């Protein structure tokens, strides 16, 4: 024990957590293996160093502890280490967490050197799954690195140490501007602008992926300032450029995560996880099994641990126990517990071998006494023989008691609210713990020292917090003290589910297939009759027209939900509008719910305002909201007669021809060049063409003199 660690074995924290041993020391706290005396389970206990709790920056460190507890508690995910409890002991903050039976990713990298593409993807996918949940709850981790990634003996990857985490609304690293984090995994925007976002977490994940393949981080220097400078000013080298055998798809994925501009990275953990899954599906078996051996490129700070057997990088090697306390993980479920939600209580029993050994020693001592008494009188030998028989009989009785008798088993105790039935034939009573309040019965089991596990299920018939079933469940049944456990299933109450608010939007993920969405959420009373479905000009086929109860309501899973879905736009026949006045044609098109584009043209044969033609033939099969182009007559085109009197005849002819007129000339003397008269009155309007399509003719009178 020293000033930093400060807690001796068997110290009890807050009357509840008994320290078993120290696991590891960190820069801010010491992690212990402890036992929760109240729930009789093994936990990890993280206690702040005394010098920090009493130093000038104590408040900042305490806030970091509180952030870690709040951040981890706000996110429920199998790949994030949960925090069970928090408190203060001797003015030092502590956290109680799940105890992981495993190692850190850093230890695996030191042990293996490099990983295969497949195992790297497996680890990255679990990390991204945890970050996706954190980002969905607006939590940024801000310190993703191999030291904070735990791998259990079963190969489950979990993220720990949310001490630097903050909400996305508080993305700046600290009010003091102090740069927190590990240089090799800091994103450029964090270094330059003291700013973090979900994309900053993804940058660190990309660096870890790079490191697992190559065995080292991309930027290595003994000077952290140099590393920080490279992250800001240099691109992370593409893996397939460093080693051409790395699959291009994998290299591109890592490059996407480690873009210097956060706007070019995936938006969050879920988007990155989706990209990873898509990329993995494109890899061949040989590419997935590819593993890069450590090369001269790697300026490794920590060399891999040599193994006597063939080195592997799979989760089979992750199962090996470490021989040092530091190799144990920070936080995790006991290995004997297959259900991660279960709670196990174990009480030590007397070993039969120990009893037998005790009996043997007693017998040997008695034999010595009997041998020594051969010189005594015959009556003395009889007394010794009798004593030996008595001791052996007592030993046999003890063995029977603890191996087969009442000492070998627990008896399932009676609950205060047990359900009992009378047996008329035997005049006895049978009681069951089914239906009992679990919180009360748990206390009885703890007081009795009986080990048990708990699983939680929804129930429509058993109230929340009461026992649905038990193995065993009959009061008085026996549970072996050597291997026995009581298995309980406790009710969560009726399963309540919220109808997604966006289910009414046919373009949203939930709205594209409403029935599938509701079933996937757990609703099991969905009422939908095809005969009730309706055509809609605005809602695409399969979209939601009506739902009751309404979207956003939280209801029980078996509440009847009535749906009316869209059949899409209704099929209609194109109306015959050619030759119809526009007002009538417009009404016919509106009745068919068609979109209309109108083109107006001059016509010398069709009256103004009458439909000349349509882009769709009458009777054609179309649907609501289809578009039809209608050509509408503007009537005959007319020309305005210009005034050319007094103009030079050539200029007058040129002007009139440009306006669409045919020009004829009448010269009174044969020598004139000035227009003195025109056959069509200036300013009047004439048809642009006659029924035969000929343009109008104008006759100009030309004279030598103007009148």
Active site residues: 143
Distance between CA atoms of residues 456 and 466, nearest Å = 10
CA dist list (Å): 569 to 155, 378, 573, 622:
52, 116, 13, 9
- State how beta strands 486-491 and 452-457 pair: parallel
CA dist list (Å): 522 to 140, 503, 519, 545:
30, 15, 5, 21
Cβ atoms of residues 429 and 421 within 8 Å: yes
Cβ atoms of residues 13 and 45 within 8 Å: yes
Q: Please, what is the end-to-end C-alpha distance for the chain in angstroms? A: 130
Residues 6+ apart with CB under 8 A from 395: 355, 356, 358, 359, 362, 363
- State how beta strands 478-480 and 409-411 pair: antiparallel
Cβ atoms of residues 121 and 127 within 8 Å: no
Task: Compute the Cα dihedral for 330, 335, 336, 337 and give only its sign.
Answer: positive
Distance between CA atoms of residues 41 and 240, nearest Å = 48
Cα angle 160, 163, 167 (rounded to 5 degrees) comes to 100
Cβ atoms of residues 687 and 604 within 8 Å: yes
- State how beta strands 662-667 and 697-703 pair: parallel
**Residue 699 forms beta bridges with which residues?**
664
Distance between CA atoms of residues 158 and 679, nearest Å = 99
Q: Which among 100, 104, 97 has a CA at the least distance from the CA of 47?
A: 97
Distance between CA atoms of residues 440 and 468, nearest Å = 15
**Burial of 51 (C-beta count, 10 Å sphere; 0-12/13-18/19+):** exposed
Cβ atoms of residues 518 and 561 within 8 Å: yes
């Amino acid at each position: 024990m020293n000033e930093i660690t400060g807690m001796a074995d068997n110290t009890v924290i807050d009357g509840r957590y008994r320290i078993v041993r120290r696991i590891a020391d960190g820069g801010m706290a010491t992690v212990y293996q402890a036992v929760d005396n109240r729930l009789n389970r093994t936990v990890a206990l993280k206690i702040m160093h005394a010098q920090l709790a009493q130093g000038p920056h104590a408040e900042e460190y305490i806030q970091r502890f509180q952030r870690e507890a709040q951040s981890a508690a706000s996110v429920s995910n199998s790949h994030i280490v949960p925090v069970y409890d928090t408190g203060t002991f001797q003015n030092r903050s502590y956290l109680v967490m799940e105890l992981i039976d495993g190692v850190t990713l850093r230890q695996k990298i030191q042990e293996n050197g490099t990983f295969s593409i497949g195992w790297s993807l497996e680890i990255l996918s679990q990390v991204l799954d945890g970050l996706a949940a954190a980002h969905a709850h607006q939590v940024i981790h801000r310190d993703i690195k191999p030291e904070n990634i735990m791998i259990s003996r079963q190969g489950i990857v979990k993220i720990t140490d949310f001490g630097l985490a903050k909400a996305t609304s508080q993305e700046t690293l600290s009010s003091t501007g102090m740069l927190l984090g590990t240089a090799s995994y800091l994103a450029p925007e964090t270094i330059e602008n003291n700013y973090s976002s979900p994309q900053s977490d993804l940058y660190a994940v990309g660096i870890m992926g790079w490191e697992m393949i190559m065995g080292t981080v991309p930027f290595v220097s003994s000077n952290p300032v140099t590393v920080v400078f490279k992250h800001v000013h240099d691109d992370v080298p593409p893996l397939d450029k460093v080693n051409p055998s790395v699959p291009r798809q994998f290299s591109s994925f890592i490059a996407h995560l480690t873009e210097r501009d956060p706007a070019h990275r995936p938006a969050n953990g879920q988007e990155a996880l989706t990209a990873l899954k898509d990329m993995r599906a494109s890899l061949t078996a040989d590419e997935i099994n590819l593993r890069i051996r450590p090369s001269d490129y790697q300026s490794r700070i920590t060399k891999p641990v040599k193994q006597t057997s063939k080195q592997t990088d799979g989760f089979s090697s992750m199962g090996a126990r470490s021989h040092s306390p530091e190799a144990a993980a920070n936080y995790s479920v006991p290995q004997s517990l297959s259900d991660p939600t279960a709670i196990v209580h174990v009480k030590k029993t007397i070993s039969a071998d120990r009893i037998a050994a005790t009996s043997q020693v007693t017998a040997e001592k008695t034999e010595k006494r009997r041998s020594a008494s051969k010189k005594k009188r015959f009556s003395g030998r009889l007394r010794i023989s009798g004593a030996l028989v008595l001791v052996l009989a007592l030993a046999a009785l003890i063995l029977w008691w603890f191996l087969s008798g009442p000492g070998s088993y627990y008896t399932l105790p009676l609950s205060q609210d047990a359900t009992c039935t009378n047996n008329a034939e035997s005049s006895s009573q049978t009681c069951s713990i089914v239906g009992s309040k679990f919180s009360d019965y748990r206390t009885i089991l703890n007081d009795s020292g009986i080990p048990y596990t708990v699983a939680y299920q929804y129930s429509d018939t058993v109230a929340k917090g009461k026992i649905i079933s038990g193995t065993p469940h009959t009061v008085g049944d026996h549970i072996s003290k050597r291997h026995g456990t009581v298995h309980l299933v406790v009710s969560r109450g009726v399963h309540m589910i919220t109808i997604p608010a966006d289910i009414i939007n046919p373009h949203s993920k939930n709205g594209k297939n409403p029935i599938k969405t509701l079933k996937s959420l757990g609703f099991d009373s969905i009422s939908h009759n095809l005969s009730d479905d309706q055509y809609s000009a605005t809602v695409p086929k399969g979209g939601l027209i009506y739902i009751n109860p309404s979207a956003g309501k939280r209801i029980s899973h078996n509440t009847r939900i009535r749906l009316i879905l869209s059949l899409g736009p209704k099929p209609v026949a194109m109306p015959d509008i050619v030759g119809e006045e526009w007002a009538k044609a417009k009404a016919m098109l509106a009745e068919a719910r068609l979109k209309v584009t109108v083109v107006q043209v001059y016509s010398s044969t069709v009256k103004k305002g009458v439909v000349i033609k349509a882009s769709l033939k009458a009777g054609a099969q179309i649907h609501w909201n289809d578009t039809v182009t209608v050509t509408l007559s503007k009537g005959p085109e007319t020309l305005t007669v210009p005034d050319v009197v007094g103009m030079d005849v050539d200029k007058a002819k040129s002007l009139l021809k440009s306006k669409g007129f045919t020009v004829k000339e009448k010269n009174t003397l044969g020598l004139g060049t000035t227009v003195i008269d025109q056959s069509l009155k200036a300013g009047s309007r004439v048809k642009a063409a006659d029924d035969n399509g000929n343009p109008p003719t104008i006759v100009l009178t030309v004279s030598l003199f103007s009148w």
